[in-house]
Amino acid sequence: MKRTYKTARWAVLTALALQTCAAQALDLVGAYEQALRHDPAKLAADEALVAGREKVVQGDALLKPRVSLQAGLGRLDDRNSGNVSPGLSHSTGTVRQATVQLTQPLYDATARAEKQQLHQQARLAETQFDQAQQGLAQRVAEAYFGVLQAQEALRVTLAEKAAIAMQRDRARARFDVGRGKVTDLQEAQARYDQILTKEINARSSLELRRAQFEETTGAQAQSLAALAAGQAATPPEPDSLLAWQLKGEDQSTLVRVKRSQLEIAGAEIDKHRLSGRPSLNLVASYSGKGQSGDLSPMVAPSNNRTGSVGLQFNMPLYAGGGLDSKERESLARRREAEQALAAAKRDVRLQVQDAYLSVRTGVSRITAAEQSLVSARTALEATTLGRDVGTRTELDVLDAQQRAFAAEFDLVQARLDYLLGRVRLSVAAGELGEGELRSVNGWLAIP
């Protein structure tokens, strides 16, 4: 009896926990946070950032002291057949030696240019990380709103299906009592058959959108927060296309990546151009040699210690034309990077314009869709009343219902397009952050 009570208690607690989880709908910010921990592209960007930051350490190391150790151990067998004493004609022993050397660059123009290039590569890694984060936020928003759109399409289709089924049953009942036309019944049945196909397509589209969302975020797509009612759409701030395009040319991660690549290409030119200059290093070394056995000190010194400090000068004279060739190659690479930067600015201007117009026209589109929905519902009520008094037919009511359902879906589509336009505009301008994401998230009905 006690075990039965405990089992029932756990069952009740489990049911309450499941209801609580179901009630907690996942919003856009929560989906993005899930994707940060799940998306392979974002996780790869994290590791690329860690690797890129090491370029700073590698660049600084080029001008810091370098210390090396060389050590050796060998067995020596000395045989002398000359006019020497018989006891000294053959000797064996072990020879050991070790050298510690410190090299400090004093002047190395090539190393300084390479250091600058490695620092620029580290900054490029930071920019690419920002690009990956903003790209992930856009992909999550597109996947999230894609699920909402597919859910709304299925909801409208099911509501339309129920309305058509009701009109078909009504037409059949009127026909059975001799008050309706067979053409009305056939038309209603044909529309019902069409809506069944539409329902299949809507369900398939919803499953695909949910799969895309789950692959992107690693979260289930069955309990997403829906759009809230009463949100007012506002134009972009500032309401100037030129201002947004200037933002994009300056802040867009795409432009920043191409700009960093241009700087790296310029540093590559400096590196090869300066590679023909001399270098000067401070070199200090300390070595020790020793032996064990009966070797002569003339063959292998015993307990010999040597220290030295000096300057090492290196001047490349001829490298088979390779240095000049590398410089010409780097010049061509820089020209290529300049054109890539110009193309990126052009693409960003077009992306900004597309997103800006989507947001700008989205405000008017939402207002028009809201008015269209009111008019469609009013027309449906009037058509239904006309059918009841005999001035309209069942087909007229079906047409009015379909227009009302289409108006409902158009309004949801307009709001989703407006929100996606805001996200894309922020990405194109390079300023999509937590603030803008939470602002868009405010359009959702979060329990």
Look at phi and psi of residue 65 and say left if phi exceeds 0, alpha if psi is from -120 to 50, else beta: beta
Q: What is the pLDDT, as a whole number, of residue 8?
A: 38
Asked if 125 and 257 touch (Cβ cutoff 8 Å), the reply is: no
Handedness of CA 18, 20, 25, 29 (dihedral sign): negative
| pLDDT level of residue 229 (50, 70, 90 thresholds) | confident
Per-residue three-class SS string for 85-148: CHHHCEEEEEEEEEEEEEEEEEECHHHHHHHHHHHHHHHHHHHHHHHHHHHHHHHHHHHHHHHH
Is 288's pLDDT higher than 90?
Answer: no
Distances (CA, A) of 104 to 24, 100, 285, 352, 379: 63, 13, 12, 51, 88
Confidence of residue 257 (pLDDT cuts 50, 70, 90): very high
Q: Does 376 or 179 have the greater pLDDT score? A: 376
Q: Among 11-15, 161-165, 167-171, 256-260, which stretch is predicted with the lowest mean pLDDT?
A: 11-15
**What is the average per-residue pLDDT within 36-42?**
93
pLDDT of residue 12: 37
Q: Can you tell me the distance from the alpha carbon of 411 to that of 3, in angstroms, rounded to the nearest whole number?
A: 55
Confidence of residue 440 (pLDDT cuts 50, 70, 90): very high
Report yes or no: 265 and 337 within 8 Å, Cβ to Cβ: yes
Query: What is the C-alpha separation between 110 and 105, in angstroms, rounded?
Result: 11
Identify the pLDDT of residue 335. Answer: 96
Residue 143, both tokens: 């996947």
CB-count exposure of residue 396 (10 Å: 0-12, 13-18, 19+): middle
Give the model's pLDDT for residue 18. 38
**Encoded tokens for 365:** 């589109």
Q: What is the pLDDT of residue 275?
A: 83
The pLDDT value given to residue 273: 87
What mean pLDDT value characterizes the chain?
Answer: 87
Residue 86: the pLDDT is 52
What pLDDT is stored for residue 341 in this prediction?
A: 96
- What does the pLDDT read at residue 175? 80
The dihedral region occupied by 79, where left means phi > 0, alpha psi between -120 and 50, and beta the remainder, is beta
In this prediction the pTM is 0.81
- Cβ neighbors of 64 (< 8 A, separation 6 or more) are 104
DSSP state of 282: E
Least confident of 12-21, 205-214, 218-227: 12-21
Instruction: Assign 356 a pLDDT band (cuts: 50, 70, 90).
Output: very high
Q: What phi-psi label fits residue 72: left (phi over 0), alpha (psi between -120 and 50 degrees) or beta?
A: beta
Q: Can you read off the two tokens belonging to residue 332? A: 């061509």
Burial class of 360 by CB neighbour count within 10 A (0 to 12, 13 to 18, 19+): middle
Pick the more confident residue, 1 or 265.
Answer: 265
Q: What is the pLDDT averaged over residues 204-215?
A: 95
Flag whether pLDDT at 338 surpasses 90.
yes
The per-residue pLDDT for 298 is: 66
Read off the pLDDT of residues 115-156 as tens digits, 9 standing for 90 and up. Answer: 999 999 999 999 999 999 999 999 999 999 999 999 999 999
The residue among 38 and 302 whose pLDDT is bigger is 38
Closest CA to 137 of 255, 47, 46, 28: 28
Q: Give φ, ψ of 219 to 5 degrees.
A: -115, 155
DSSP for 284-319 reads EEEEEEEEEES--TTTS-SSEEEEEEEEEEE-----
State residue 302's pLDDT score. Answer: 73
Residue 301 has pLDDT above 80, yes or no: no
Structure confidence at residue 290 (pLDDT): 76
CA distance 241 to 357: 8
